[in-house]
Chains A and B, each alone.
Chain A
Amino acid sequence: MEPRGWRVSFRERLNLSWQERYGRGRFWRETLYAYIYLLPALVILGTFTFYPFFKAFWISAHRYYPDLLHPSYVGWDNYLTVFKDELFWRSLWHTVAYVLGSVIPQLTLGLFIALLLNSRIRAKSFFRTAYFLPYVTPSIAASMVFLWLYDRDYGLLNYILNKLFHVNFIDWLNNPSFALPAVIILGIWKYTGFNVVIYLAGLQGIDRTYYEAAEVDGANAWARFRYITLPLLSPTTFFLFIISIIGAFKVFNEIYVLWPGATGGPLNAAMTIMIYFYHKAFGEYHLGEGAAVANILFVIIFVITLIQMRLSRRWVFYQ
């Protein structure tokens, strides 16, 4: 008997004449229902996603000063203004440094911890919860705690570093060289747990028979990890990579709390694209330039994601 999947019905439909396909009342009724079911989602997406998306392009082509209420059309001028601003390039560089500095350790550390948790250890669910807790902690609250941890004279971090490694006290929050690392450490602490949990799910999805077969063939632990675990986890890694990079590009809350008033840290050393955007749009009230920054960020994330998608064909294996 021939299997009747959607492919078959689709092929059948293609064979229908125009009359047969659209002439039936049932077709129109079904289409109508489909659109009615889609409507609520479309309205919400349209209002809060699509409209703002296109409006942002419109805003970025207008100048909101001197008269806020009567913006004038300036074409690409706002983009040029932003590109000419030295602080924009510095913020972009800080953002890239943050993305690389936090995402790669998050993934490696996440995988490492997930592997440990996947082995036979006691109190597995306790550790799983413990590692996931930072992720569900609101970033504002977590950053407030880190504000204390990073204190130069009384912070726990300096105390530990000093006691264990005899490191001189570091002025994490007021020394420009340590401002961005401070944000990166906070980012790693906060988001590694998410990677752990997703990796753990990925690990548990790998069929045990692969390992058994490998063991029969005499593969050692490293070979099993390298040739079975890693390739079979590649869809998970790919997903985490994209999600983490997009998230990291948008880092804002942590910096906003660590340095009150969105100052971007000492000498703007922790000024990222989002903080820069905040200054442009809501500090200076130069909405056009703000929207231009937001759109530039959109294009950057879009292109990076496209590249990742393209590259993924080479290293992501679906079972």
Chain B
Amino acid sequence: MRKFALTLLLVGLAFGIAALGTPKVTVTFWHAMTKAHKDALTYLASKFMETHPDIQIKLVYQGHYGDLSQKLLAAVLAGKPPVMAQMYEDWTVKFLDAGALLPLEPYIPEDVLSDIPQSLITSNTFVVNEEKTLVTLPFNKSAMVLFYNTDLIDKPPTTWDELLEMAKALTVDKDGDGKIDQYGFGIRPYPELFIEFFHQAGGVIFNEDMTKCLINSEAGITAMNFLLQLKKYSLYQSGYLSGPFGSGRVAMYVGSSAGIPFVASASAGHHGWNTAALPVGPANGESMIQGTNIGVFTLGTTEEQQEAAVEFAKYLISPEATRYWAIKTGYLPVRISVLSSPEWEEYIAQHPERKAPTEMLLKGFVYPHHANMYNIRQVIGTAFEEVMLGKKTPQQALDDAAKIIETKYLKAQG
């Protein structure tokens, strides 16, 4: 017994000394990355810790984005969030309103800020004390691109008209049984797809001071009518389109570049594929940029932890790290200097499917921020579905949506 106690004491002392030897700041980082994405993140964390021996980065996988959102919400309510986490803009607004986040702008040098694509700056900028400030840093970013089957299409469409024509030509009933075997296009009715076409038709969701919803403008009607036209030649389904695209049922679809690995594995052994810049609409050919950012919590964390977290966040957007991250995961590099570097061009030459997303990043647009964005997004999604299913005309659906958004979500404080 005495021997046991002695051993315990010695072991305890040894650990104590070891801990004293390197006083480390532990930074927990909650994320939603799996497989190759997780490995890349782990690698970057270990690389960072090599050069920062006083910082310990603890990566914690918290499930998919939905899980991460719930866990962050619960942790913030309990006053014990992680030091840093991946977060979407609508969560960021909530955490920011609760005073739980550290705005990162003061920590980022001017030359770094000017090296980040404008769309990403916009999506990470929030209103703090009535002033626009960069709060989070862009992390895993993707852009809307056109996926197309290279066995069927030599030259991808470059305009809406070409897209419609090609979709029509590629919609065929191969065995003549009255059932379409191959669709020219694929439509999954999620709000971002409509917003993409809406934006390209020249639409903006809100007026300047966010008191009016402009979704029922001319651009909204144009976008809806065009999507209705496309639907005639589309596989319309609520599931992801990488599967039907891979099996050859769908020849083209517009989707996030985050789907590249899924398209690659679904198409392997079936047909060739590539991505292309989005066909240009009446107003522009810009692409919606999506994905999460990194935020640092002040709530329940020490100043040392916050500083260490800021260091790590800055490292993640450094040219080396963001290049590595982009190559390993398929997300986009968040630095203009990386996008235009010879190494990246060389990489693109070997991986043609990465060319279009990179191009789209520089002419990207993002959702505006609003505390009720979650609901607003849902209302827009419902209007999109109503039109696609023929329940309402574009004008009716968009008028109704705009009215709901204005009365329920813009007037009321969220």
Show the binding face of A for B, using Cβ within 8 Å.
65-70, 147, 152-153, 169, 173-176, 259-263, 265-268, 279, 282-285, 287
Known A-B contacts: A174-B237, A266-B389, A267-B386. Give 4 more (CB < 8 A): A68-B95, A68-B100, A262-B66, A282-B70
Cα distance A175–B385 in the bound complex, in angstroms: 10
- Asked if B284 is an interface residue, CB under 8 A from chain A, the answer is no
Assess the A263–B238 pair: CB atoms within 8 A.
yes
Whether A68 and B237, one on each chain, are in contact in the complex, defined by CB atoms closer than 8 angstroms, is no
**Residue in B76, B375, B382 whose CB lies within 8 Å of A267:** B382
Contact B73 A267 (CB under 8 A): no
Residues of B within 8 A of A285 (CB): 73, 91, 94, 374
Q: Is the CB of B238 within 8 A of A260?
A: yes
Tell me the chain B residues, 203-243 only, with Cβ under 8 Å from chain A.
236-240
Within 8 A of A (CB), among B135-194: 179, 189-190
B76 neighbours in A (Cβ, 8 Å): 68-69
Q: Which of B91, B240, B382 has the most CB of A within 10 A?
A: B382
Does B381 make an interface contact (CB < 8 A)?
yes
Expressed in whole angstroms, the Cα–Cα distance for A283 and B237 within the complex equals 23
What distance in Å separates the Cβ of B159 from its nearest Cβ neighbour in chain A?
A: 28
Cβ distance B80 to chain A, nearest Cβ, rounded Å: 12
Chain A to chain B contacts (Cβ below 8 Å), 7 pairs: A68-B77, A68-B94, A69-B98, A260-B238, A266-B238, A283-B374, A285-B91
Query: Which B-chain residue is minimally distant from A268 (CB atoms)?
Result: B382
User: CA–CA, A188 to B94, complex, Å?
Assistant: 40
Kindly state whether residue B371 has any CB partner on chain A within 8 Å.
yes
Where the two chains meet, the residues of B that have a C-beta atom closer than 8 Å to any C-beta of A are: 66, 69-70, 73, 76-77, 79, 91, 94-95, 97-100, 179, 189-190, 236-240, 249, 299, 371-372, 374-375, 378, 381-382, 385-386, 389, 391, 413-414
Q: How far is the CA of A279 from the CA of B69 in the complex (A)?
A: 12
With a cutoff of 8 Å between Cβ atoms, the chain B residues found around residue A267 in the complex are 382, 385-386, 389, 391
User: Chain A binding site: helix, strand, loop or mixed by DSSP?
Assistant: loop
CB within 8 Å for A65 and B237 given contacts A153-B179, A282-B70 = no
Contacts of B97 in A (CB 8 A): 65-68
B374: chain A residues at CB < 8 Å are 283-285
Listed residue (A70, A284, A287) with the most chain B CB atoms within 10 angstroms of its CB: A284
Q: For A147, give the chain B residue with the smallest CB separation.
A: B239
Interface centre among A153, A262, A268 (most CB of B within 10 A): A153
CA distance A154 to B77 in the complex (A): 46
Complexed CA–CA distance, A261 and B238 (Å): 10
Residues of B within 8 A of A68 (CB): 73, 76-77, 94-95, 97-98, 100
Please state if B381 and A69 are interface contacts (CB–CB under 8 Å).
no
On chain A, the residues within 8 Å of B179 by CB distance are: 153, 169
Q: A66-B414, A69-B76 are in contact. Are A260 and B240 (CB under 8 A)?
A: yes
User: How near does chain A come to B72, taking the closest CB pair, in angstroms?
Assistant: 10
CB neighbours of A152 from chain B (8 A):
237
**A176 touching B389, Cβ below 8 Å:** yes
Are A174's CB and B238's CB within 8 A?
yes
Contacts of B249 in A (CB 8 A): 153
* Bound CA span A97–B198, Å: 37
Evaluate contact between B70 and A263: CB separation under 8 angstroms: no
Bound-state CA distance A176–B98 (Å) is 39
Smallest Cβ-Cβ distance to A286: which chain B residue: B414
Q: A260–B236 Cα gap in the complex (Å)? A: 15
Give the CA-CA distance A66 to B240 in the complex, in Å.
34
CB distance from B314 to the nearest CB of A (A): 27
Q: Which 10 A-B pairs have the closest CB atoms?
A: A68-B98, A69-B98, A66-B97, A282-B70, A285-B94, A283-B374, A267-B385, A67-B98, A284-B374, A259-B238
Q: Which residue of A lies closest to B381 (CB)?
A: A263
Q: Are B382 and A69 in contact (CB under 8 A)?
A: no
Q: In the assembly, what is the distance between CA of A175 and CA of B95, in Å?
A: 37
Task: Please determine whether A284 and B375 come into contact, CB atoms closer than 8 angstroms.
Answer: yes
Of B100, B190, B378, chain A has the most CB atoms within 10 Å of the CB of B378
CB distance from A135 to the nearest CB of B (A): 26
For the complex formed, measure the closest distance between the CB of A45 and the CB atoms of chain B, giving whole angstroms: 21
Residue among A67, A262, A266 making CB contact with B99, cutoff 8 Å? A67
Neighbouring A residues of B98 by C-beta, 8 Å: 67-70
Q: Which residue of A lies closest to B235 (CB)?
A: A153
Question: What residues of A have a CB within 8 angstroms of the CB of B413 in the complex?
Answer: 65-66
Q: Are A282 and B73 closer than 8 Å at their CB atoms?
A: yes
User: What residues of B have a CB within 8 angstroms of the CB of A284 in the complex?
Assistant: 372, 374-375
Chain B positions within 8 Å of A176 at CB level: 389
Residues of A within 8 Å of B382, CB to CB, are 267-268
The answer to whether B99 touches A69, judged by C-beta atoms less than 8 angstroms apart, is yes
- In angstroms, how far is the closest chain A Cβ from the Cβ of B74? 9
Nearest Cβ on chain B to A120's Cβ, whole angstroms: 46
Is the pair A260, B239 in contact by a Cβ cutoff of 8 Å? yes
Cα A283 to Cα B249 in complex, Å, equals 33
Complex CA–CA separation, A32 to B100 (angstroms): 47
Question: From residue A66, how far is it (CB to closest CB) to chain B in Å?
Answer: 5
- Nearest A residue (CB) for B404: A86
A279 to B389, CA, bound (A): 23
CA–CA, A282 and B65, complex, Å:
11
- B223 to chain A minimum Cβ distance, whole angstroms, is 19
Q: How far is the CA of A263 from the CA of B240 in the complex (A)?
A: 13
Report whether A282 and B371 are in contact in the complex, using a CB–CB cutoff of 8 Å.
no
CA distance A285 to B92 in the complex (A): 12
CA distance A174 to B382 in the complex (A): 13
Nearest neighbor of B70 in chain A, beta-carbon distance: A282
- Closest chain A residue to B409, Cβ basis: A284
Question: Is A266 in contact with B94, judged by CB distance below 8 angstroms?
Answer: no
Collect the chain A residues with CB atoms within 8 Å of residue B372's CB: 284
Residues B385 and A266 in contact, CB atoms below 8 Å apart: yes
CB-defined contacts of A67 to chain B, threshold 8 Å: 97-99
Cβ-defined contact, A173 with B371, below 8 A: no
Residues of A within 8 A of B385 (CB): 266-267
Nearest Cβ distance between residue B224 and chain A, in whole angstroms? 15
Report the separation of the CA atoms of residues A265 and B385 in the bound assembly, to the nearest whole angstrom.
10
- Residue of A69, A175, A265, A283 near B100 (CB, 8 A) is A69
For residue A51, give the distance in angstroms from its CB to the closest CB of chain B.
14
Contacts of A261 in B (CB 8 A): 66, 190
- Complex: chain B residue closest to A66, CB-CB: B97
User: What are the residues of chain B within 8 A of A169 when measuring CB–CB?
Assistant: 179
Chain A residue contacts of B95, Cβ below 8 A: 68
Given A266-B238, A282-B69, check contact A65 B414 (CB 8 Å): yes
Give Cα A281 to B247, complex, Å.
Answer: 38
A202–B375 alpha-carbon span in the complex (Å): 49
Report B182 CB to chain A, min CB distance, Å: 11
